[in-house]
Amino acid sequence: MTTSATSQPLFLYSTTVSDVGTVRSNNQDSAFAGEHLIAICDGMGGHAGGDTASTIAIRSLAHIEQDNEQGDVKTVAHMMETSVMAAHDAIVGKAKRERRLAGMGTTVTAVALVSGYWVLAHIGDSRAYLLHDGHLIRMTSDHSYVQHLLDTGRINESEARNHPQRNVVMRVLGDFDIDPRPDIAVRKAHPADRWLLCSDGLCGVLEDSTLQEMLATCSDQEECAQRLVSMALRAGSTDNVTAVIADATLALNADAFDLPHQTPLVAGAASASLEPIADIINAPVATAPLLREGKQSPAARAAALRHGRNPDETDNEPQPEQRVAQPSTVREETGDRTNPDTGEIPVVQKNDGRVSADPNDPEVARAIRNEQIQQRKTKRAHSKRNRIIGIVVTILVLLGLAGAAVGTYRWSQTKYYLGDDNGSVTIFQGVPTSIFGLKLSHAVSDTGMKTSELPPSWQEQLMQGISFDSYGEAKNHTTLIKKQLKQQQAENKKSGGGSSPSASSSASPSSSASASSSSSSSPRGGDKS
Least confident of 102-106, 211-215, 525-529: 525-529
CA–CA distance, 194 with 129 (Å, rounded to integer):
8
CA–CA distance, 434 with 95 (Å, rounded to integer):
38
Mean pLDDT rounded to a whole number for the chain: 79
| Residue 350 reports pLDDT greater than 70 | no
**How do residues 409-427 score in pLDDT, each as one tens digit?**
788 888 898 888 888 889 9
| Residue 315 reports pLDDT greater than 80 | no
**What 8-state DSSP symbol labels residue 195?**
E
Give the pLDDT of residue 99.
85
Least confident of 145-159, 249-263, 320-334: 249-263
CA–CA distance, 200 with 66 (Å, rounded to integer):
28
Least confident of 6-15, 101-110, 242-251, 300-309: 300-309
CB-count exposure of residue 426 (10 Å: 0-12, 13-18, 19+): buried
Beta strands 117-123 and 108-114, pairing class: antiparallel
| Residue 355 reports pLDDT greater than 50 | no
Average pLDDT over residues 348-360: 51
Least confident of 40-54, 224-238, 330-344, 379-393: 330-344
CA angle 133, 135, 136 (to 5 degrees): 130
Evaluate if pTM is beyond 0.75: no
Q: What are phi and psi of 173, to 5 degrees?
A: -80, 135
Query: What type of residue sits at position 379?
Result: K
CA angle 224, 228, 234 (to 5 degrees): 145
Identify the three-state secondary structure at position 457.
helix
CA–CA distance, 213 with 231 (Å, rounded to integer):
13
CA–CA distance, 434 with 139 (Å, rounded to integer):
41
CA–CA distance, 223 with 241 (Å, rounded to integer):
15
Average pLDDT over residues 157-176: 76
Beta strands 265-268 and 285-287, pairing class: parallel
Q: Which residues pair with 184 in a beta bridge?
A: 121
In the chain the first and final C-alpha atoms are separated, in Å, by 85
Contact 174, 92 (CB under 8 A): yes
CA–CA distance, 238 with 23 (Å, rounded to integer):
6
Average pLDDT over residues 224-229: 97
Q: Give the residue with greater pLDDT, 505 vs 290.
A: 290
Give the pLDDT of residue 449.
85
**What 8-state DSSP symbol labels residue 288?**
P
| Residue 123 reports pLDDT greater than 50 | yes
CA-to-CA separations, 56 to 21, 158, 214, 281, 450, in angstroms, rounded: 22, 35, 31, 15, 64
According to DSSP H, which parts of 184-220 are helical? Answer: 200-203, 208-217
Give the pLDDT of residue 106.
94
Give the pLDDT of residue 526.
37
Least confident of 22-26, 64-68, 333-337: 333-337
Query: What does CATH list as the number for 10-252+259-334?
Result: 3.60.40.10
Give the pLDDT of residue 459.
79
Least confident of 55-59, 207-211, 445-449: 445-449
Identify the three-state secondary structure at position 466.
strand
| Residue 192 reports pLDDT greater than 60 | yes
Identify the three-state secondary structure at position 484.
helix
- If pLDDT is split at 50, 70 and 90, which confidence band does 18 have? very high
Domain boundaries, the chain: 10-252+259-334, 341-411, 416-489
The share of the chain scoring above pLDDT 70, in percent, equals 76
Contact 243, 17 (CB under 8 A): yes
Contact 194, 131 (CB under 8 A): yes
Give the pLDDT of residue 521.
37
Average pLDDT over residues 29-46: 93
Beta-carbon neighbour count of residue 403 at 10 Å?
A: 11
Least confident of 12-21, 105-114, 203-212, 255-264: 255-264
| Residue 27 reports pLDDT greater than 90 | yes
**How do residues 364-406 score in pLDDT, each as one tens digit?**
556 656 766 776 787 788 888 888 988 988 898 888 888 887 8
Average pLDDT over residues 491-498: 68
CA angle 188, 194, 198 (to 5 degrees): 110
Least confident of 186-190, 239-243, 295-299, 473-477: 295-299
Give the pLDDT of residue 113.
95
Q: Give the residue with greater pLDDT, 451 vs 371.
A: 451
Give the pLDDT of residue 455.
79
CA–CA distance, 320 with 513 (Å, rounded to integer):
78
**What 8-state DSSP symbol labels residue 69?**
T
**How do residues 232-273 score in pLDDT, each as one tens digit?**
999 999 899 999 999 998 865 444 445 557 899 999 999 998
